Structure 1
Amino acid sequence: MSLFQVQGLVKRFGGLLATDHVDLSVAHGEIHALIGPNGAGKTTLVHQISGLLAPDAGRVLLDGDDITALPMHRRVAKGLSRCFQVTRIFPAQTVRDNLLLAVQAHSGSSFRFLQPRSQAHGLYEAADRLAERVGLQGCMDGIAGALPHGAQRTLDVALALACAPKLLLLDEPMAGMGPEESQQMVQLIDSLRQDMAVLLIEHDMEAVFRLADRISVLVYGRVLTAGTPHEIRSNAEVQAVYLGTETLEATP
């Protein structure tokens, strides 16, 4: 049984059919990439998955539970966490404070900031483990907004990981990154499959082919096809509508 399923998801905006009876599934431990040209409906689909938009028809299932009607915060509690296209951190706070806030929110601890450290030892330990998990342990006292772009995106992922998700939605995590930062993010995402499934929306096709176990191609709100990277790379219809021969020949 799949960990996550979208069944017949439909979203209309007036006369525009933004998602057209979309079916999608993600297995336990799988990195599943969702690709498609601009305007294909990827963001609208992810908004429905995360609870930001309500679908007009269809169902969203996580670990066997129907979460279609649940608001975003209850989906997070069920095990679905999301990183947006635009980094969402607390830029004026330190990396440590960002992580502490995320850990507190997940643990249900009281948001009392004047309590002695000895009373919140477990929260600090969890924040330290999270920083080490994503490679930010060396900048815990740095101001989040002063970090390089790649490190800010990494912190954003860490905040999502604080919720201990079963499924992590990553919306263009490599956007705006240079080659070295992108390589670091690829390594981080690849390591996540040990603990969770990942639904990856990304335009960097080299990263997609390196990371994805399966790929779904969205065109005009419909899933054109889904398959392994090799199947997608060699699909003539996908080449024609989106990828192009030169992109397909990139090294996975």
Structure 2
Amino acid sequence: MSLFQVQGLVKRFGGLLATDHVDLTVAHGEVHALIGPNGAGKTTLVHQISGLLAPDAGRVLLDGDDITALPMHRRVAKGLSRCFQVTRIFPAQTVRDNLLLAVQAHSGSSFRFLQPRSQAHGLYEAADRLAERVGLQGRMDGIAGALPHGAQRTLDVALALACAPKLLLLDEPMAGMGPEESQQMVQLIDSLRRDMAVLLIEHDMEAVFRLADRISVLVYGRVLTAGTPHEIRSNAEVQAVYLGTETLEATP
């Protein structure tokens, strides 16, 4: 059974059908890329998957559980974690404090004055492991908002990883990055498949074809096709969409 499934997801804004009976599956340990031209409905679909928007019809399943009606925080508790297009960190705090807050939130502990030393020590150890996992161990004392853009995006991923997700939803993680930063993010995402599945929304086609096990192409709010990178590269309809030989209507 697939780890994650979207079944017949529909979202309407007035007379506009933003997601048109979308079906999508992500397997355990898979990097599944969701691509499509601007205005194809990717953001609307991602909002429904993460719980930011409620669908008008259809279901969202994670590890066999129907999470369609759950709010965002309960989806996180079930194992679905998301990074947004806009980096969401605590810019005035250090990298260490950002990671400690994320670890503390996931563990359910608190920073009380009176608490077992082992508990506080465990939080710091978990934060250190996260930093090492994403390559930020040398920046722990730096102010998060002063980091280069790529490092801020990496910290954002680390905060999502603190929730120990089964499925990590990455919304354009390479946006605004230079070539070296993009290469580092690709390497990080590639390393994550050992422990979780990844649903990747990305416009950097070089990164998509390097990372993805499977790709779904969204156009007009519906899945045009899905397949392996080789199948998507050789699909005439996909080539037409990305070469601009079709004029696509905008959707939210």
Smaller-chain TM-score bracket = over 0.9
Contact 1:3 1:64 in 2 (8 A): yes
1:158-196 deviation digits (Å, cap 9, x = unpaired): 000000000000000000000000000000000000000
Query: CA–CA distance in 2 between the matches of 1:195 and 1:132?
Result: 15
Aligned pair count?
252
Q: TM-score, normalised by structure 2?
A: 0.95
In structure 2, the residue matched to 1:34 is: 34
State the 1:117 CA deviation: 6.0
CA RMSD of superposed structures (Å): 4.1
Deviations 1:103-147 (A, max 9, x none): 000000024378686650000000000000000000000000000
| Residue 102 to residue 247, structure 1, CA distance change in 2 (3 Å) | farther
Give the 3 Å change call, closer, same or farther, for CA 16–94 of structure 1 in structure 2: same
Distance 1:246 1:183, change over 3 A: farther
Name which of structure 1's ranges 235-244 and 184-193 shifts more when overlaid on structure 2: 235-244
Cα distance change, pair 235–163 in 1 and its aligned pair in 2 (3 A)? same
Report if the CA contact (8 A) 2:220-2:251 is conserved: no
Residue 250 of structure 1 and its aligned partner are, at CA, apart by 26
Whole-Å separation in 2 of the counterparts to 1:174 and 1:89:
16
Instruction: Give runs of aligned pairs for residues 173-212 of structure 1, distance below 5 A.
Output: 173-212=173-212
> Closer, same or farther in 2 for the Cα pair 1:49/1:250, shift >3 Å?
closer
Deviations 1:41-61 (A, max 9, x none): 000000000000000000000
3-state SS in 2 of match to 1:58: strand
Q: Distance in 2 between matches of 1:29 and 1:227?
A: 16
Q: Which consecutive unaligned segments of at least 5 residues does structure 1 have?
A: none
Which ranges in structure 2 are unaligned for 5 or more consecutive residues? none
Length-normalised TM-score, structure 1 = 0.95
Q: Following superposition, which runs of at least 4 residues in structure 1 exceed 4 angstroms of deviation?
A: 113-119, 243-252
Which secondary structure does the structure 2 equivalent of 1:158 belong to? helix
CA contact (8 A) 1:233 1:248 kept: no
Superposition pairs of residues 82-231 of structure 1, within 5 angstroms: 82-112=82-112, 119-231=119-231
Aligned residues: percent identity?
Answer: 98
